[in-house]
Structure 1
Amino acid sequence: MGRRLIRGLSGAAVFLVSVTLLSVRHRGAQETSGYPGLRERMLENPERRTHEGPEDSKEGGGTGQRDLQVHSLDKYKTEGNLTLGDVFVAVKTTKRFHQSRMELLLDTWISRAREQTYVFTDEEDDALKRRMGDHVVFTNCSTEHSHSALSCKMAAEFDAFLSSDQSWFCHLDDDNYLNPEALLKLLSSYSAMKDVYVGKPSLNRPIRASETLPNNQMKSVRFWFATGGAGFCISRKLARKMMPWASGKNFLSTSELIRLPDDCTIGYIIECKVGGQLLPNRLFHSHLENLQLIPTSDLMQQLFKTGAPVAVADLSTVKWTTAAGD
């Protein structure tokens, strides 16, 4: 009788452990279903990415650039209280969108975060200057939607942040709608004293590029990047490490090495030069997504939404009190 009871209890214990493991595995599969490479790497060797050093990343073709990793927030945990005043919000725009897009942003979320927000554009505009004062930066960059023009503005944003005393750099496009309080809540989960690069990749795989080397040589590199259309944020500590490739004219030179746009260049510098990594977050949203797929009950938790003026206008009518008021 005693032996049967012991065997029965042992069997029950094994069953419960098995159910628990299956439950954990199911949740992990759900969390990583959007990034196949991420899921495969987690199942293969969950610690491998965190143990790689900068030299592995600099090679560009190593395993460090193949798959995203989910890391415990303990590694990036913040210390102290973060305020909106610690965040430098850069909005990239162009003259032809000053009225159609910027007016909407100025009337909605920028009015809630004006002191933290700086607008970077290519041509002077008295009306915009009156509304933003010294928080509008006329970059003299080209008005073209080219790699060099986009990188020119990103370089101006990056240098302006480095000249400030804020702890976080967050980039947005002029068709992004920002939820300032949700952004603050997210950044409070991290420390600006850690290497943090958070955003949303537009691809479910790392992008491949060819890096130009001396003597007309080329090197294949692979890396993850956060799409600028969804917005992204970088900690000051990481930004300072990026300076040799991103400050001043260096950003344009680096962009020319891989012949890719500004957001790709940011990812390239962080993953291939500095040895950092993208931390994917699904609270960022780009024009590649459909707003209707986000449950209304979840809107107040989202950070950025993009999609040209129509999407921005739609969001401004939502009862999103943390960003646009009643």
Structure 2
Amino acid sequence: MRPPARRRAPPALLPLLTCSLAFALASEEVKKEATQSKNLEESDISREHGIDLKEIVFVIQSQSNAFHAQRAEQSKNSILKQSAALAQELPQVLLLHELSKQEGAWTILPLLPHFSVTYSRNSSWIFFCEEETRIQVPKLLETLRRYDPSKEWFLGKALHDEESTIIHHYAFSENPSVFKYPDFAAGWALSLPLVNKLTKRLKRESLKSDFTIDLKHEIALYVWDRGDGPALTAVPELCTDSVDARCATTGRSSLPLCGNPVKKEDIFVAVKTCKKFHGDRIPIVKQTWAGQASRIEYYSDHADSSIPTVDLGVPNTDRGHCGKTFAILERFLNLSHDKIAWLVIVDDDTLISIPRLRRLLSCYDADGPVLLGERYGYGLGTGGYSYVTGGGGMVFSREAVRRLLGGQCRCHSNDAPDDMVLGMCSSGLGVPVTHSPLFHQARPVDYPEAYLSHQVPVSFHKHWNIDPVKAYVTWLAPGEEDEAGPETRKGRKDEL
């Protein structure tokens, strides 16, 4: 079901692809996939295309944060070590965060012209993977040899929406499962002819200056180009689990841990609320995750001693909550005792696992400027900025708060979007936004089951048409999965 009308996306977020594009897409895409499958069977699987490793350019979707850069470097070394064992000329292995100083480089599309100019003459494939993607290089080479590199190919592990969702602007609302997009954790590939075609399009028409919300879906939309480009071809060897021996890739599914988890006392949790939600949302917070937090305060437009809430003197607004959030930042920096290392700001309808957050934060330097959560982008094609979306939870190191406030970052109005204002400020002040896919701006039902199945999530957001207590128990409650992988959660389909 769709959320109530009052919760619809604002006009600025409305469709990259309007619902009318669902017109006859189901039948057209089925025909196209069938044709591609037939061509593959007749011409490609029957013979191997003799590409060598040097014709593959590996691009690791890395980040500049020290923890992530180190993980990416380890993945790069693994690829090169395996390649050297094959006694072939080594492939190019690139780290995304080193390729460009451009703010929007993580969205990949702006870098396609560079790939086209630099690699189109001697390379056949650009293979993208995440820092955590484990690659069996010999098997990947064998897999790519099944596809004719002179043709336009978009390869990956296929995901699809089970129902239309706000994070994809309700695209293909009449048949959400018809459109496939890649699971980045399994790796995905573009043939150079397709890279060249996309580059020509980019030169002809610049990228739109709008929102980047779910990159994997939006890249698939751009490649598909309303039917003028290829749909994603599902490749069974690109995997996110290791149960199948034929897998050329797998996605690491355990929660990171770097030493001991951060102490509860080193995390201050600020819950944004307002008087009208004191009676229904705050009881859910207290029934689910609040007991895991050692230091927690509820910030409202009304002082209620029964909760208790802190009245920040900022009136409630129906849109953004910039005034309230900046009052919280000031209070944390100037009034919190013992110089607590981490601040977490959540909405009153955010569900979060504090034990998992403590484990995750062990991998980040609390003395540096860390701004962590689910990354969105605004206007990245025209010099915009990245930001951590608020509903999934915004995590700040004390140093990040100090730099943001010290840099005169302020709200132009109380109802400005707090997460976007912070993103704009962090971009200008050189405070990097660090992305974690374990934070979620939407509900569990808004993500494909196959995508969540290899995660140990840290947060979800919104109570629309779900039982939030059940969602918390299903996905976030402390249990064995905090020490092991998500395989201990198998069978939890009912909340999806």
TM-score class, shorter: 0.5 to 0.7
Q: Which has the higher helix share?
A: 1
- In structure 2, which of residues 349, 368, 372 is the aligned counterpart of residue 194 of structure 1? 368
Query: Which amino acid in 1 is paired with 2:458?
Result: L
Q: Is the 8 A contact 1:79 1:191 kept in 2?
A: no
> 1:17 Cα shift?
4.8
- Aligned residue number for residue 107 of structure 1: 287
Aligned amino acid, residue 322 of structure 1: P
> Number of residues paired by the alignment?
252
Per-residue deviation, 1:166: 0.8
Over 3 Å counting, the alpha-carbon distance change for 1:315 and 1:275 in structure 2 is same
CA distance in 1 between partners of 2:460 and 2:326 (Å): 23
Kindly tell me: are residues 71 and 48 of structure 1, through their superposed partners in 2, closer, same or farther at Cα, counting changes over 3 Å? farther
Secondary structure of 2:265's counterpart equals helix
CA contact (8 A) 1:68 1:278 kept: no
Q: Which residue of 1 aligns with 2:418?
A: 262
Matches within 5 A, 1:132-147: 136-147=309-320
Relative to structure 1, the CA distance from residue 81 to residue 314 in structure 2 (aligned partners, 3 Å threshold; closer, same or farther) is closer
Contact 1:230-1:285 at 8 Å conserved across structures = yes
Matches of 1:116 and 1:321, distance apart in 2: 19
Secondary structure, counterpart of 2:412 in structure 1: helix
Pick from 142, 159, 164 the counterpart of residue 330 of structure 2.
Answer: 159
Structure 2 residues not aligned, in runs of 5+: 1-49, 64-92, 108-128, 133-256, 480-496
Tell me the amino acid that sits aligned with residue 460 of structure 2. K
1:78 and 1:191 in contact (8 A); partners too: no
Deviation at 1:313, TM superposition (A): 2.6
1:98 is the counterpart of 2:269: no
Question: Matched residue of 2:406: which SS?
Answer: helix
| Cα drift, residue 234 of structure 1 | 1.4
Query: In the alignment, what sits opposite 1:68?
Result: 106
Distance 1:277 1:116 in 2: 26
Contact 1:305 1:312 (C-alpha < 8 Å) held by counterparts: no
Q: Where does structure 1 lack aligned partners over 5 or more consecutive residues?
A: 1-13, 32-41, 53-62, 130-135, 209-220
> Deviation per CA, 1:88-119, whole angstroms, max 9, x where unpaired?
11111111111111101111100221x22211
Question: Aligned partners of 1:283, 1:100: CA distance in 2, in Å?
Answer: 26
Q: Which residue of 2 aligns with 1:5?
A: none
What is the TM-score with the length of structure 2 in the denominator?
Answer: 0.44
Contact 2:323/2:414, CA 8 A, preserved across alignment? no
Alignment correspondent of 2:222: none
How far the C-alpha of 1:257 sits from its partner, in A, is 8.3
Are 1:47 and 2:98 an aligned pair?
Answer: yes
Partner of 1:180: 354
**Which has the higher relative contact order, 1 or 2, with Cα contacts under 8 A spaced 6 or more apart?**
1
CA-CA distance at 1:293 after TM superposition: 2.7
Q: TM-score, normalised by structure 1?
A: 0.65
Deviations, residues 218-254 of structure 1 (Å, cap 9, x unaligned): xxx6211111011121111222111234xxxx65xx3
Aligned residue identity for 1:237: E
CA distance in 2, matches of 1:187, 1:294: 26
> Does residue 82 of structure 1 match 2:262?
yes
